[in-house]
Amino acid sequence: MQQVTLGMIGGGTVGGGVYQALQSNGALLASRTGLRFKLKRIAVKAFDEPRKVEIPERLMTTDWRAVVDDPEVDIVIELAGGTGVARQMVLAALRRGKPVVTANKALLSAHGQELFRTAREHGANIYYEASVAGGIPIIKALREGFIGNRILSLYGIVNGTCNYILSRMQAEGAAFDGVLADAQRLGYAEAEPSLDVDGFDSMHKTGILASLAHGFWVEPEKIHVEGIRNISQLDMGFAGQLGYTIKLLGVVKKLPARGRRKGGNGGAVQVAVYPALVPNRHVLASVSDSFNAVFVQGDVVGDTLFYGRGAGQDPTASAVLGDLADAALDLKHQAPDRVPAFVPHDDEGAVAPLADCISRYYLRLSVSDKPGVLARVAAILAASKIGISSVMQPEGHGGEAIPLIMMIHDATNAAMAKALGQIRRLPVVKAPPVMIRVEDLD
C-alpha cells in the first residue's frame, strides 16, 4: 500500500484531535482510500504545553520549518492559527509544491488571493474544509455539489459561541452579560470574547463562503459586521411574540443585476454579519446551542441546509481527515488541481455597499406614554417611503417610557438609517432606537 507522509503544525486542541482521529480511524481511512497515512512530525509551541490528547515526544519539534522542509513530508497540515507566522508557514509549504490542509479562517479570509495564487504557481493546492463550520462539509457542497448552481443567497449560523449565548438567552429569558459569563465558565466562550461575540469570526467564515459562492475573493474589510452584545432579553421576548428567533447570521445575497448584462454573473453581492430575526417556522430557527448551520438557496437546487458542530477538537478533526483524503488522492493521481481550491469566475464581482442593501426591520422605540407618538414616528417613515407592516404596543405600566415595536417593510439600509436619525431626535423618543434586521429566508 502506498504511503502518504504528513507533517502538522500546531499541537493544540484541533491538532490533538487530528492526531487522535488518525490513531483511531487511520486503518479505516486506509481501507477507504488505498493509502496509508503516516503522521511523521508535529510542530508545537512547547513540548510541555498542557494537552487533552497526549502526543508522543518523538513526533514533536518546536521548529515549524523542520516540518515544511522535511523532504519526506508530502502534505502539510497548518493548525497554528493567526495571520502572521501562519502565512509564512503556508506560503513556504506551497512554494515547495506541497499541498496544505488548513483550518485557518482568519488567514484565508485576509490573504486568500495571495495563497491561492501561490498554490497555482507552484502546482500545489489548499484544502480548507475545516476553516468554516467545522465538521459540516459545506466547502465541498458549495464547490463541488452545487457547482452547477448560481448561489442566490446563503445564511450561515457559523459561530457556535454566539449561537449558544443567543439560544440560552432565548430559553431562559436571561441577559447577555450573565449568559456570556456562564459560557466563559463552561468553556463555550473565550476569556477575551470579542472575536466571537463582536462577529469577527463569523466575518472570516462568511467571507470565505461568499468568495466560493460568487467567484471573486471577498476581502474582510468589505464585510459589514455587527455582533450580539446589544441584543437584549427584551428584544428576544418581543421577537418571540412576533414568531421570530434572533440569530447571528452571515448573510450573502446576490442583488438583482441593475444595468449589468443579464444572465451573466453581474450584480453586486451583499456580504454582511449581523443579528437578525428568523421566522420560527424556518428550519434555521431550530438550530440551537453551539450548533452551526448554513442555509443555501441555489437557482437549480432550491433550498438546502447543512447542520452540525462548527468547532471543537473532533468536528474539526473530521474535516481535516476529509481534506487529507482529498489531498492524498490528488497526489496519488498526480492531479493537484483536480478540484481547484478556489476558481475566480466573476471578473465583475463586487460587494454591494450596505447602504444599498434591502431588508425588513424590527424596530423597538422607547417612547413617552402619551397620544400622538405613533403618528409622529409613522410620519417620518412615510416621508421616507418606508412602510410599516405591524405595530405592537404592550399595555403601559404607568412608567415614563413605554416600548413601541414596529415591523418595517423592505427598505434600503440607507433609507432606514436616515429615518432612524430623525426618529431619534423626536422629543417623545426617550432612548436610541433598537433596530434589528429581519431575514424571512424565502
Tell me which residues are annotated as active site. Answer: 205
Closer to a second copy by CB, 333 or 370: give it: 333
Closer to a second copy by CB, 226 or 439: give it: 439
Contact residues for 373 (Cβ-Cβ < 8 A; gap 6+):
367, 404, 428
Nearest distance, CB of residue 342 and a second copy, angstroms: 10
Closer to a second copy by CB, 117 or 418: give it: 117
> Which residue ranges make up the site for a second copy (CB under 8 A)?
17, 21, 24-25, 28-29, 31-34, 129, 135-137, 140-141, 144-150, 215, 263, 265, 283, 286-287, 291, 298-309, 314-315, 317-322, 324-326, 329-330, 333-335, 338-339, 343, 345
Rounded distance between C-alpha atoms, residue 305 and residue 439, angstroms: 15
- Under a CB-based contact definition with an 8 Å cutoff, are residues 433 and 401 in contact? no
- Enter the DSSP assignment of 425: T
Nearest distance, CB of residue 225 and a second copy, angstroms: 27
Please compute, for residue 322, the number of CA atoms within 13 A of its CA located in the half-sphere on the CB side: 19
Closer to a second copy by CB, 157 or 179: give it: 157
Other beta carbons within 10 Å of 178: 13
SS3 call for 276: strand
Contact residues for 376 (Cβ-Cβ < 8 A; gap 6+):
426, 428
Rounded distance between C-alpha atoms, residue 291 and residue 227, angstroms: 18
Nearest distance, CB of residue 13 and a second copy, angstroms: 14
Closer to a second copy by CB, 207 or 336: give it: 336
Residue 70 burial class via C-beta count within 10 angstroms: exposed 0-12, middle 13-18, buried 19 and up? middle
Rounded distance between C-alpha atoms, residue 397 and residue 376, angstroms: 22
Closer to a second copy by CB, 34 or 396: give it: 34
Rounded distance between C-alpha atoms, residue 161 and residue 183, angstroms: 8
Given the C-alpha cell 453581492, which residue does it identify?
A: 269
Write down the H helix ranges in 45-158: 64-68, 85-95, 105-121, 138-140
